Amino acid sequence: MHAEDVRDVAVYRRYGFVLAGLVVGALAAVAAFLYTVDPEGTHEQGDGGALHAYRDVLNRRGRAHLLASGPWDAALIGSSRVALGYDTDAYGLRGGRTANVGLMDTNLWELVRVAEYALEVAHVPLIVVFVDLHCMSSRRKTNFDFERSDFDRVDDEGPLEHFDENEGELLSLHELERALSTLEARSAGRTRVGRNGVDRRELPEGHRYREDTAEHLLRVYLANPGTYLNFEYGADRIEELERFVARARAARSQVVLVMPPKHALQMECMTQIELWDDFERLKRDLAALASRQATLVLDFAAHHEHALERMPRDDERGARMQYWFDSSHGTPELGRLVLARVDAALDGRAQGEPLFGVALDASNVEAHLAECRSARDAWRAANREERVWITNVIHDDRLLRLLPPFARR
């Protein structure tokens, strides 16, 4: 090799090392930026500091980290109804620190795994599991996000069997997008989550309740095989729940099972598509579980005063509901009433409002179900226009476009 060629190779190597160093340095800087911003809240300690309220920590990874960052006096575990409707910063059960672990698009199998995590990893002494009918569907799939979280980890897995996604995703474009979104939310003062986990998203100005409710019923319930479409009651899920309750009792942790409130319009939809019998079956199963395991079960899913709040027409500009975001999700004001009733029941105090948080067991469930049916029938007799409105939603032309192919046939 000529001397000139040797010099050229040395120069190329030198530039190559410099370029490699610049690339490594840039990647390290990006990784440090993402680690510091921590958009999913998986590296933070304690309450997460100034950025916590602006992070996207409502995913399962963030929820697992929230639970593990205790100590907690209580935990609320449930669907998006829990995430949006229970401000545990403002009201904690038994006056203690209460984690809000509401999950989007969940099922009872997931909720039991989360409750096990709260019991065995976070050592929470009071665990409240909110049980929705749609979470009982045997067709409801586990969210992919669950498999990326500590909720799905097994203690005996080695470091090579389950690579730590927290570090593995530090250089992903998705994580970079989340980090920039977090900083943008902070700059705009747009909080996403409370210290103890409540989803702080608010309704926009000019919110149209009827339009939003119809869209929600069509997309999330009527056209979804994981909710109301071809609903199939998963009896095995109650068995899973009972096994958890028994383990919690053995560990001296208290479990409360709650059927959360539904607006009358949501229950009318369930009635018209013939899910009321499954609704009652769930209440019977929970009442039987309550008697076998000496566990508190509270039913808020009935036509009580708060469920009957009138939903404004979309032309009533500026009108706001006190207790509801839509027919499915209650506001934190309703959530506070639910938590106050849970506290009262834990203290052995009598039920205050009719059909609101009735303590169920095998001895009273049939009388309670008869009372619920009577209240439903009374509402239906007095609200023919609302029944017709729900019928029109169920037969909306958009539903055919939203249905999967098997359901169209």
CA distances (Å), 220 to each of 103, 193, 231, 403, in order?
15, 23, 13, 11
- The yes-or-no verdict on residue 301 having pLDDT over 80 is yes
Model pLDDT, residue 247: 96
Domain ranges of the chain: 75-141+203-408
Model pLDDT, residue 100: 97
CA distances (Å), 149 to each of 40, 53, 65, 116, 123, in order?
11, 20, 9, 14, 18
Model pLDDT, residue 59: 83
- The yes-or-no verdict on residue 12 having pLDDT over 80 is no
Question: DSSP letters of 161-218?
Answer: TS--HHHHTTT-HHHHHHHHHHHHHHHHT---B-TTS-B---PPTT--HHHHHHHHII
Q: How confident is the model at residue 252 (pLDDT cuts 50, 70, 90)?
A: very high
- The yes-or-no verdict on residue 158 having pLDDT over 50 is no
CATH architecture classification, 75-141+203-408: 3-Layer(aba) Sandwich (3.40)
Per-residue pLDDT reduced to its tens digit, 80-112: 999 999 999 999 999 999 999 999 889 999 999
Residue 78's nearest CA partner among 86, 69, 87, 89 is 86
CB atoms near residue 62 (< 10 Å): 23
Share above pLDDT 70 across residues of the chain, in percent, rounded to a whole number = 75
pTM, full prediction: 0.85
- Average pLDDT over the chain reads 85
- The yes-or-no verdict on residue 159 having pLDDT over 50 is no
Per-residue pLDDT reduced to its tens digit, 354-382: 999 999 999 999 999 999 999 999 999 99
- Given a contact cutoff of 8 angstroms between Cβ atoms, the answer to whether 338 and 258 are in contact is yes
